Amino acid sequence: MGTLTKSGIIDQIVLDTGLSRKEASDGIETFIEIIKGTLENKEPVSISGFGKWKVREKSARRGRNPKTTEEITISPRSVVTFSLSNVLRARLSDDT
């Protein structure tokens, strides 16, 4: 099985619900924009039974360029982390 893409999700919504491709696409685009906007505001996004996205701040730190071994400073930045819900974790564990 390959990677599930946005297009694949839209196709599956069309098959499962009978919505038009445009309706499914618009719904997915809206869903993604809501999540992006919430994360841009540094607020967590939690979907019961699935998981939680959270923005975490990383401080500046020293690193090393692997090609030249020169020491560099890695600038501070925001990263998004995802934590599985216990429900999804259990489902994934049962399938292995």
How does pLDDT run across 1-30, given as a tens digit for each residue?
689 999 999 999 999 999 999 999 999 999
The verdict on 3 and 28 lying in the same domain is yes
pLDDT score for 32: 97
CA distances from 70 to 62, 67, 74, 75, 77 (A): 11, 8, 12, 16, 21
The verdict on 28 and 72 lying in the same domain is no
pLDDT score for 94: 81
Residue 40 pLDDT greater than 90, yes or no: yes
The verdict on 36 and 50 lying in the same domain is no
- The parent domain of residue 6 ranges over 1-41
Give me the chain's average pLDDT, please.
Answer: 95
Percent of the chain with pLDDT over 70: 97
pLDDT score for 1: 67
CATH of the domain at 65: 4.10.520.10
